[in-house]
Amino acid sequence: MEDARLVRDAPADTRLKATVGLVEALGAQIVVHFELDAPKVVTEDTKLLDEDAHTDEAPAHTEITGTRFVASFAPRSRVRAGDQIEVVVDTERIHFFDPETGDAIHD
| Ordered structural domains, the chain, with CATH | 4-94 (2.40.50.140)
Please indicate, yes or no, whether the overall pTM of this predicted structure exceeds 0.85: no
Query: Strands (DSSP E) along the chain, which ranges?
Result: 4-6, 16-25, 30-36, 67-73, 84-89, 96-97, 104-105
* Model pLDDT for residues 8-62, shown as the tens digit of each residue: 667 777 788 888 999 999 888 889 998 888 777 777 777 787 777 665 544 443 4
pLDDT bin (cut points 50, 70, 90) of residue 5 is low
| pLDDT value, residue 91 | 74
pLDDT bin (cut points 50, 70, 90) of residue 7 is low
| pLDDT value, residue 60 | 41
